[in-house]
Chains A and B, each alone.
Chain A
Amino acid sequence: MFDFLVSFIPRAVMQSIPLLYGSTGEILTEKSGNLNLGIPGIMYVGAISGVIGAFFYEQSVPAAEMNAFLAIAIPFLSSLLGSFLMGLLYCFLTVTLRANQNVTGLAMTTFGVGFGNFFGGSLIKLAHSEVPSIALSATSNFYRASLPFADRLGWFGQIFLSYGFLAYLAIAIALLTAFLIRKTRTGLHLRAVGESPATADAAGINVVRYKYLFTCFGSMIAGLGGLYYVMDYANGVWSNNAFGDRGWLAIALVIFTIWRPNVSVLASILFGGLYILYLYIPTGTQFAVKELYKMLPYLVTLFVLIIVSLRKKREDQPPASLGLHYFREER
C-alpha cells in the first residue's frame, strides 16, 4: 500500500499541476465577473508559445552551450506573452465591445486549440521530424530539474521534492491568489467587481481596469499550465491535441473548489489522481473500465455543483455578475 502511494502520489501531482494553473487562472478571471470559456484554448496557446520560444532558442544555440537562465526564461516569457494576448483579446471583446461571454470564450477555444495545433504542426515540419511530434528535451531538462538531494530522501523526496520548479510555482501562485482574493484590498475590490459591478463602480473602483487586469493575469496563469504540461510533464514533447480536455477539467475544478484556489491545491491532486487512477486499478481484461474512471472528475464536479445549489449558502454561489457585461449608463 505504501509503495503504491509513493508511486501514485507523484504521478497524481504531476497530473494535477496543469489543472491547478488552469483553475487558479479561471478563478481569478471569474472573480472579476468574466466566465472565460476560452481557458482551454488559452492553455494551448500558453503551451505552444513556450514551445516556439524554446524551439528557436534550441535551434540557435548548441545544446551544450545553452544557458540555464535563458532556456527557462525565453519559453516562460513567450508563454506568458501568448496567453496574455489571448486574455487581452477576450477582454477587448467582452468588456470593451460587450460581446456575449459564452460565445467569445468558445470562439477563443476554437481559435486557441487551432493555433496550438497549427504552429505545433508547422514546427514539426520545420524540424523535419520523423514522428508527428516535436521534442525539446534540452529545454525540458532545465524545467524538470529538481533539487539535487531529493533522490536521497527516499519516499519523502519522491512525494514532496521530485518536481520541477513550475510545480512549486503553481502551488505558490494558488496560495498567493487565495490570499489576494480573501485578505487584501485589491481582492476585496475584485470580488466587488464580480459580485456587483454597479456597486464597485459607484464606490470609485475602475471596473474596466479590474476586469482587464485580472482576466489577463488569469489567462497568463492558465497559460503556464500549458507550459508545464509540455516542458515538464511531457518531457518537452509537443504533439498535437495531446493536452486534450484538461482545460475543461480545470474549469470543472473551479466549481469543485467553490472558487477557492487554496482548496484547489489539494483538489487538483484529487482530480489528477482520478484522471490516472485507472492505471493502478486492476481491471483485468476489461480495458474499457478505465474510460469510466476518467469520467469520475466530471461526475464529482457535477455532484458538487448540485449540492451547492441545493444548500443555497450565499457565500458558495458563483460571483453574482458572472457572465454579464457591465455598462454604466444602462437604464
Chain B
Amino acid sequence: MESVQNAVRLEKLTKHFGNVVANNAISLELHEGEILSLLGENGSGKTTLMNMLSGIYYPDSGQIYIHGKPVTIASPKDAFAHGIGMIHQHYKLVDVFTATENIVLGLNEKGKLNLKEAGKKIKEISEKYGFEINPDQKIYDMSVSQKQTVEIIKVLYRGADILILDEPTAVLTPQETDKLFAVMRNMQKDGKSIIIITHKLHEVLEVSDRVAILRKGEYIGDVLTKDADQQSLTDMMVGHTVSLNINRPEPVNPTPRLEVKGLTVFDDLGVKRLDDVTFTAYSGEILGIAGIAGSGQRELLESISGLYPISKGEILYHNPKTGCDENLVGKDPMSIQKAGVSMAFVPEDRLGMGLVGSMGMTGNMMLRSWRNGKSFFVDKKAPEQLANTIWKELEVVTPSTNFPVRRMSGGNVQKVLVGREIAQNPAVLMTAYAVRGLDINTSYTIYNLLTAEKMKGVAVVYVGEDLDVLLELCDRLVVLCGGKVSGVVDARTTNKREVGVLMTRVGGNGNEQ
C-alpha cells in the first residue's frame, strides 16, 4: 500500500451533555476504502462521536477533516454534502411513507418529484449490492431488516462514499448479518469507506480491516484486525482483564414454579406475537430466554404479568406462600404482582416502563406500594425507607431519594429498578435487558443479585441480548423464534452455534423465507 489517504480525520473532538463528558478530545482516522470497527462498551461514546460526524450533534471543540480538508459539519445536510451517510441504530424513517419516499426524502434533485424514476434507481442499487426490496412498500409494513435495507439504500442513493453503521447487527438474525457483511464487502470493493459501530467482538474480527477502541469517552487506540484477537480487544475495551466466568452455582432443589402452556397472543393490529408457547420455570434456577430482538420476549413477559391480552393458553403458578396452584390468565397486573410474580423490564429508553422519570427513588418505590392500606391518601414512609435501603445497599449514585431518576445515569437507574423488584420478595423474578447499557462491573453486580435470588429458591427468568451472558449465567435456555419456542436447551452443555441455529429456525422475523 502507498501512503494511506484519510477519508475522515477527527482531531480532538469534545462533546459534553450537561456535566457528563461524552467524548473527550478524541482523534481518529478512517482510511480510504477501509472498513473500520469502532469498538467500545455501551456508553463509551461511540454513537456520540459518530453523531458529530453526521451532523446530529455539534462538537463543543475540535476539528473534522474530510479527504484532508478541514470542514464544519453543523447539520446532517452538511454531512451529506461531504458524502457522509449514517445508518442510525433507531431507524430514521417516516412510517406512513413508502420505501421510495423515504429514500428520496431530503434530496433536492433537479426537476419534478418523480417517484417512478427514483424507484428504478433504487432497483439498480439493490441489484448492484445485493439487496431485496419493494420500493412501494410502506415502512409500517416492513420487518426490521427490511427497514435497515431502506436506510442503507438511502445513503447509497445519495452517493455517500463514507458510511457509518451504528450497531447494524443488533436486530438481525445471523443469516441476515451474513448478508449485511457481504453487502459491506461489495461496497468496500466499490471504493466506499465504512465505519461500523459495534460491541460484538466476533463481528469485529470477521468484517473489519482495523479496529479503533473507545472507553468511557476516551480514545484508547487502534489495532489492525489481523493482529487482534478476542482477548486483546476485550483488554483494550474494558481496560483490565475481566474474567468472563460468571459465578454459576448448581440449582437448588428445583420444583416447577411457573408453567406456561400453549400461550398464544395477538397484538392490536391482529398480528400473532406468541404462538403456542410452552415451557416451565423451576424454583432455584435461572431460566434464560434467548432470541433475536422482537421474537416475542416482551409479549411473553407482559402476558405473564397481566399486561398483555391473552387469547389462548394457560399460565399455572405454584404459589409457594399459599401452596396453591393458580392460573394467572385473566388476573390483573396488581394481583399477579401481589401473588409473587415480579417483573423488571428495561426498555430501550430505560425509563418507558417500570420507572417514572420525573419522580425520585421514593416516588418510584411507590409504584409497587401506592395502593397499600385503606386510606384515601398514599403512604410515603415505607417507600422512603425502602429507597434509603436500596440507595445504601446497591450503592446508587444520587444526591437524594427525591432526585428525579431521569437524571441519574443508566446503571443507577437499573439498580433502582431491579433492587425494587427484588425487595418485593418475589417467588418468580422476571428481568428483561437488566444490563442494557451497563458497564461490565455494574453488569456483574446485577448478575450476582440475580444469582443470589436463585439461591434463595426464586424462579428467575432472564431475558437478555448477549448470548455469551445467557450461556454463562443461566441454567436452562428457552429459545424464542418468531413467537414460537424453537427449543429448550441446557445452558451448561449447549453452545453458541446450537442456540444461534435455534434462534433462526422458524423463519426469523418472518421475512426473507
Contact = CB atoms under 8 A, between A and B. Distances in A.
A204 B94 contact: no
Contacts of A152: none
Nearest to B88: A202
A184, A203, A206 pick with most chain B CB within 10 angstroms:
A203
Given A195-B94, A195-B96, A205 B140 contact: no
B377 interface: no
A321 to B, nearest CB: 10
Report the interface size class on chain B.
Answer: 20 to 34
Contacts of A201: 56, 75-76
Given A200-B105, A204-B80, A184 B112 contact: yes
A249 B54 CA distance: 44
Contact of B92 (A188, A189, A196, A314): A196
A42 B106 CA distance: 31
A198 B92 contact: yes
Contacts of B372: none
B105 A314 contact: no
Contact of B94 (A183, A196, A328, A329): A196
Nearest to B91: A199
Interface string B78-120: 0110000010100011111100011011111100110000000
B95 A202 contact: no
B105 A329 contact: no
B77 A204 contact: yes
Contact of A199 (B54, B92, B112): B92
Nearest to B47: A331
A196 B77 contact: no
B266 interface: no
B57 A203 contact: no
Report the interface size class on chain A.
Answer: 20 to 34
Interface in B20-42: none
A203 B106 contact: yes
A331 B54 CA distance: 16
B76 A202 contact: yes
Q: Secondary structure at chain B's binding surface: helix, strand, loop or mixed? A: loop
A183 B86 CA distance: 28
Interface of A: 183-185, 188-189, 191-192, 195-196, 198-206, 314-315, 320, 328-329, 331
12 contacts: A183-B113, A185-B107, A185-B108, A185-B112, A195-B95, A196-B92, A196-B93, A196-B95, A198-B92, A201-B75, A201-B76, A331-B17
Contacts of B113: 183-185, 188
A192 B112 contact: no
A188 B95 contact: no
Contacts of A188: 97, 101, 104-105, 113
Nearest to A201: B76
B93, B95, B96 pick with most chain A CB within 10 angstroms:
B96
Given A185-B113, A188-B113, A204 B96 contact: no
Given A202-B88, A314-B95, A329 B57 contact: yes
B104 to A, nearest CB: 7
Given A202-B86, A204-B75, A204-B80, 7 more contacts: A191-B94, A196-B92, A196-B93, A203-B154, A204-B106, A205-B77, A314-B96
A109 B107 CA distance: 37
Contacts of B102: 199
Contact of B106 (A189, A195, A328): A189
B76, B79, B140 pick with most chain A CB within 10 angstroms:
B76
Nearest to A204: B77
A192 B76 CA distance: 15
Contacts of A199: 92-94, 102, 105
Q: Secondary structure at chain A's binding surface: helix, strand, loop or mixed? A: helix
Nearest to A207: B75
Contacts of A189: 105-106
Contact of B105 (A184, A203, A320): A203
A191 B97 CA distance: 9
Contacts of B75: 201, 204, 206
B56 A202 contact: yes
A199 B91 CA distance: 8
A205 B106 contact: yes
A305 B113 CA distance: 32
Contacts of A203: 76, 92, 105-106, 154
A200 B102 CA distance: 9
A329 B106 CA distance: 20
B157 to A, nearest CB: 11
A320 B77 contact: no
B76 A314 contact: no
Nearest to A329: B57
A200 B96 contact: no
A213 B88 CA distance: 28
A205 B86 CA distance: 15
A204 B76 contact: yes
A316 to B, nearest CB: 10
Contacts of B77: 204-206
Q: Which 10 pairs of residues, A with B, have the shortest CB-CB distance?
A: A203-B106, A204-B77, A202-B92, A199-B92, A185-B113, A204-B106, A203-B105, A195-B94, A204-B76, A205-B106
A320 B92 contact: no
B22 to A, nearest CB: 9
Contacts of B88: 202
A303 to B, nearest CB: 23
A141 B109 CA distance: 46
A297 B101 CA distance: 35
Contact of B56 (A185, A205, A328): A328
Contacts of A328: 56
Interface in B405-453: none
Nearest to B113: A185
Nearest to A328: B56
